[in-house]
Chain A
Amino acid sequence: MSRYLSLLALWVLGATAPLQAGVGEAAYERGDFVGALQTWRAQAEADGVTAELLSAIGNAEWKLGHKGRAMVCWERALLLSPRDPVAQAGIKHAQGAGGTDRPTQTWSENYAAFLGADLWLILGALGFWGTLLAVLVPKLRRQPMGDWTQRILITSATLFALSIPGLYGAYTLASRAVVRRTEVAVKLTPTVLGEALNGTAEGDVVRTGRKLNGHTYVTSADGKGGWMKSTELEPIWGGALPANLDQPQAP
Chain B
Amino acid sequence: MRTCFVILACFVATSLVRAENHVTWEITPPVCGPGQPFRLQVRIESDDALGPANQVGREIKPPRGMALRFSGQVFRANATEATLNFSGVAPEEEGTYILPAFNARFPSQMVLVPAINLLVSNKTGYRKEGRARAELVLPERTFYVGEKIAGSVVMRGSEQETVTGTFGLECEAEGFTFQTEGSSFTQPLQDGHGLMKPFDLTPIRAGQGEFNLSGIMLVNTGDRISSLNTYGRDRPFNFRRKLTVEHVPETGRPADWGGSIGKLEVTPPDLSNRFPEVGEPIKLKLTLVGEGNLERIIAPEIPGTDTWDIALASELRQRRSEGRRTFIYTLVPRLPGDLKTPAVRFPTFNPDSKKFEAVEFVSIAVKVSGNAPAKVELVTIDPSAKLGTPAAKTITGLLTPTVAAGVKGVSKIEPLAASQPFWLSNSAALVALLLTTAVISVVGYFAAHPEFLIRRQARGNLRRARTAAQDALHRQDYAAYARAMTQGLRAGTAPLLNAEPLALTQSDILRALPTASPTLIEAVFLAAAGEKYGAKDARQTIAEDAQLQAMLNTLEAQL
List chain A positions with a Cβ less than 8 A from chain B: 19-22, 24-25, 28-29, 31, 33-34, 40, 43-44, 47-50, 52-53, 55-56, 59, 62-65, 76, 79-80, 85-86, 89-90, 93, 96-99, 117-118, 121-122, 125, 129, 132-133, 136, 139-140, 142, 170-171, 174, 181-183, 237-240, 245-250
In the complex the two chains form, is B413's CB within 8 Å of A65's CB? no
Q: What 10 pairs between A and B have smallest CB-CB spacing?
A: A247-B207, A48-B409, A56-B401, A31-B255, A21-B405, A50-B409, A182-B204, A118-B416, A89-B399, A250-B208
Selected interface stretch from B188-196, B232-240, B246-254, B357-365: B246-254
In the complex the two chains form, is A93's CB within 8 Å of B398's CB? yes
Some 7 contacts from A to B, beta carbons below 8 A apart, are A25-B400, A31-B254, A59-B399, A132-B430, A140-B441, A247-B207, A247-B208
Complex contacts, B424 vs chain A, CB 8 Å: none
- B388 interface residue per 8 A CB criterion: no
A33–B248 Cα distance when bound, in Å, is: 14
Complex contacts, A248 vs chain B, CB 8 Å: 207
Q: Within B427-443, which residues are at the interface with A (CB < 8 Å)?
A: 429-430, 433, 436-437, 440-441
In the complex the two chains form, is A140's CB within 8 Å of B413's CB? no
List chain B positions with a Cβ less than 8 A from chain A: 145-146, 175, 177, 202, 204-209, 247-248, 250-251, 253-255, 257-259, 296, 298-299, 301, 312, 395-418, 422, 426, 429-430, 433, 436-437, 440-441, 444
In the complex the two chains form, is B205's CB within 8 Å of A181's CB? yes
In the complex the two chains form, is B433's CB within 8 Å of A136's CB? yes
In the complex the two chains form, is B413's CB within 8 Å of A240's CB? yes
Complex contacts, B436 vs chain A, CB 8 Å: 140
In the complex the two chains form, is A65's CB within 8 Å of B257's CB? yes
Closest to A125 in B: B426
A133–B312 Cα distance when bound, in Å, is: 58
Question: What is the distance, in angstroms, from A205's C-beta to the closest C-beta of chain B?
Answer: 16
Closest to A74 in B: B398
Question: Residue B415 contacts which of A33, A125, A139, A174 (CB distance < 8 angstroms)?
Answer: A174
Complex contacts, B251 vs chain A, CB 8 Å: 34
Question: What is the distance, in angstroms, from A2's C-beta to the closest C-beta of chain B?
Answer: 31
A31–B252 Cα distance when bound, in Å, is: 11
Complex contacts, A53 vs chain B, CB 8 Å: 403, 409
A139–B433 Cα distance when bound, in Å, is: 13
In the complex the two chains form, is A118's CB within 8 Å of B413's CB? no
Complex contacts, B312 vs chain A, CB 8 Å: 96-97
A30–B405 Cα distance when bound, in Å, is: 19
Complex contacts, B202 vs chain A, CB 8 Å: 182-183
Question: Residue A140 contacts which of B298, B410, B430, B437 (CB distance < 8 angstroms)?
Answer: B437
Give 18 A-B pairs besides A86-B401, A93-B397, A132-B433 with Cβ atoms closer than 8 angstroms.
A20-B405, A47-B407, A49-B411, A52-B407, A79-B413, A79-B415, A80-B413, A97-B299, A140-B440, A170-B417, A171-B417, A182-B146, A183-B177, A237-B418, A240-B412, A246-B247, A247-B206, A249-B207
A59–B402 Cα distance when bound, in Å, is: 11
Question: What is the distance, in angstroms, from B420's C-beta to the closest C-beta of chain A?
Answer: 14
A222–B322 Cα distance when bound, in Å, is: 28
